[in-house]
């Protein structure tokens, strides 16, 4: 699987009352790594704003397999699994580096919209090409 990877160092503010990473952190990290990935392909916030378009989440699906703990280093990887005319399915994998344990598997259905109207619009061919011509 090719994809975009970032390291996450678990700190105290990530930990919940049970001593594990709070589940909400993963959803925030999913958004952050998706944004970083698209920016790495030349599609940063400024480019989307210039077009008056962008992505919104329709659905998240997150499967928690093992807990992450304070001090862990996680490898977070994301990739676009599929594009459709007005949406894409993005997948995520969170793996603890110390033992290669899969902690979380997730996916997000993103819908491409016109920012002003909020209505779905076609994903630009140039955007699709940025992801399909390289590592996805």
Domains of the chain and CATH, by start: 4-132 (3.10.129.10)
pLDDT at 1: 47
pLDDT at 136: 42
pLDDT at 98: 97
Going by C-alpha positions, the residue among 18, 126, 23 that lies closest to residue 65 is 23
pLDDT at 58: 97
pLDDT at 112: 98
Mean pLDDT per block of 10 residues along the chain (136 residues) reads: 90 97 97 97 96 97 98 98 96 98 98 98 96 64
d(CA 8, CA 46): 25
pTM: 0.93
């Amino acid at each position: 699987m090719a994809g975009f990877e970032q390291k996450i160092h678990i700190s105290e503010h990530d930990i919940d009352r049970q001593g594990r990473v709070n589940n909400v952190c993963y959803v925030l990290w999913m958004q952050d790594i998706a944004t970083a990935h698209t920016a790495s392909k030349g599609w940063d916030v400024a480019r989307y704003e210039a077009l008056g378009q962008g992505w919104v989440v329709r659905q998240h699906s997150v499967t928690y397999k093992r807990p992450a703990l304070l001090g862990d280093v996680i490898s977070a990887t994301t990739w676009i699994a599929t594009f459709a005319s007005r949406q894409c399915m993005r997948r995520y994998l969170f793996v603890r580096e110390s033992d290669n344990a899969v902690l979380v598997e997730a996916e997000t259905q993103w819908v491409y919209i016109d920012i002003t109207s909020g209505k779905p619009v076609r994903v630009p061919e140039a955007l699709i090409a940025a992801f399909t011509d390289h590592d996805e």
